């Protein structure tokens, strides 16, 4: 039986009088691709900020890979719960190269000390080779090979989005959070991204929770979808169930689901 990678129970946060996320219960199992959708301002990014420890919840509980995140800081959640995320607004090191961007992220999880680095110990050299090999493999999966030495700021927008995902994957997560990975991509890039996300899940056997407004992408990539509106969950189901759900249609009023 597949295990739970993310278990969220009754999660909520208020900003002053605004209940941005209210009583949200959600689960992502091993190797699942799950969608989180909802109109602008529904609380999707706030939900990611809660589960990744950027905000402290007012109510509820989060467990990632079976571990409660309650007393963990954001960087500890990333390290100890084996998760990684991308951001709605791209956060690359603009003046570093593509390869440098990946290497900086990869080094978050190395376990050798400064002495090893200074002495260039065997452990250090082996690990460095492994990290570079993984970075190259990921860049080639995302068709960014050949662009290793380009500055991140010079990449086309779609490539910058893909580089963000490569950076997240380089930390070897078991659970990946993607916040609007297709934003700003054209139809062809979005279709390519859909295949890549499935390929990544199959290859690395990870779970993925993805926020996205592009319905074709969401319906094509997700096995299950949760719908948020005004901070509350209004529906959960497979793409077919979500497409037909009257509550969802009402929330999107006029938008094609």
Ligand X SMILES: Nc1ncnc2c1ncn2[C@@H]1O[C@H](COP(=O)(O)OP(=O)(O)OP(=O)(O)O)[C@@H](O)[C@H]1O
Instruction: Name the minimum Å distance from CB 47 to ligand X.
Output: 7
Residue 49 in the binding site for Mg ion (CB under 5 A): no
Which residues in the 8-37 window bind ligand X by CB under 6 A? 15, 18, 20
Residue 174: contacted member of Mg ion, ligand X, none (CB under 5 to 8 Å, by partner type): none
Residue 199: contacted member of Mg ion, ligand X, none (CB under 5 to 8 Å, by partner type): none
Q: How many chain residues bind Mg ion (CB under 5 A)?
A: 3
Which residues in the 34-93 window bind ligand X by CB under 6 A? 38, 40-46, 88
Residue 175: contacted member of Mg ion, ligand X, none (CB under 5 to 8 Å, by partner type): none
For the chain, the DSSP string reads: -PPEEEEEEEEEEEETTEEEEEEEEEEEETT-EEEEE-STTSSHHHHHHHHTTSS--SEEEEEETTEE-TT--HHHHHHHTTEEE--SS----TTSBHHHHHHHHHGGG----HHHHHHT-HHHHHHHHHHHHHHHHHHHHTT-TT-TTSBGGGS-HHHHHHHHHHHHHTT--SEEEEESTTTT--HHHHHHHHHHHHHHHHHH--EEEEE-S-HHHHHHH-SEEEEEETTEEEEEE-HHHHHH-HHHHHHHTTS--
Instruction: Name the minimum Å distance from CB 112 to Mg ion.
Output: 37
Residue 184 in the binding site for ligand X (CB under 6 A): no
Among 45, 49, 52, 190, binds Mg ion (CB under 5 A): 45
Q: Choose between 82 and 226: whose C-beta lies nearer to ligand X.
A: 226
Residue 225 in the binding site for ligand X (CB under 6 A): no
Question: Residue 6 and residue 30: Cα distance in Å, rounded?
Answer: 9
Residue 78: contacted member of Mg ion, ligand X, none (CB under 5 to 8 Å, by partner type): none
**In the complex, which residue's CB is closest to Mg ion?**
45
**Binding footprint of ligand X on the chain (CB under 6 A):** 15, 18, 20, 38, 40-46, 88
**Binding footprint of Mg ion on the chain (CB under 5 A):** 44-45, 88
């Amino acid at each position: 039986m597949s295990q739970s990678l993310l278990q969220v129970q009754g999660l909520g946060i208020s900003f002053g009088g605004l209940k941005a996320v209210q009583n949200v219960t959600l689960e992502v199992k091993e190797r699942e691709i799950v969608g989180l959708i909802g109109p602008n301002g529904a609380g999707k990014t706030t939900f990611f900020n809660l589960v990744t420890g950027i905000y402290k919840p007012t109510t509820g509980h989060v467990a990632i890979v079976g571990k409660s995140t309650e007393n963990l800081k954001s960087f500890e959640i990333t390290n100890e719960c084996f998760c990684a995320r991308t951001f709605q607004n791209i956060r690359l090191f603009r003046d570093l190269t593509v390869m440098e961007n990946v290497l900086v992220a990869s080094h978050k999880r190395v376990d050798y000390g400064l002495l090893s680095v200074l002495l260039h110990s065997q452990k250090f050299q082996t690990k460095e080779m492994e990290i570079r090999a993984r970075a190259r493999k990921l860049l080639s999966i995302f068709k960014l090979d050949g662009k290793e030495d380009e500055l991140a700021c010079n990449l086309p927008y779609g490539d910058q989005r893909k580089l963000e995902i490569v950076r997240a994957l380089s930390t070897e997560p078991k659970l990946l959070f993607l916040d609007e990975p297709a934003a700003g991509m054209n139809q062809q890039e979005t279709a390519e991204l859909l295949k890549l996300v499935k390929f990544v899940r199959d290859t690395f056997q990870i779970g993925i929770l993805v926020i996205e407004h592009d319905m074709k992408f969401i319906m094509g990539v997700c096995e299950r979808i949760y719908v948020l509106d005004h901070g509350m969950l209004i529906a959960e189901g497979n793409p077919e169930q979500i497409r037909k759900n009257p509550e969802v249609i009402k929330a999107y009023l006029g938008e094609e689901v």
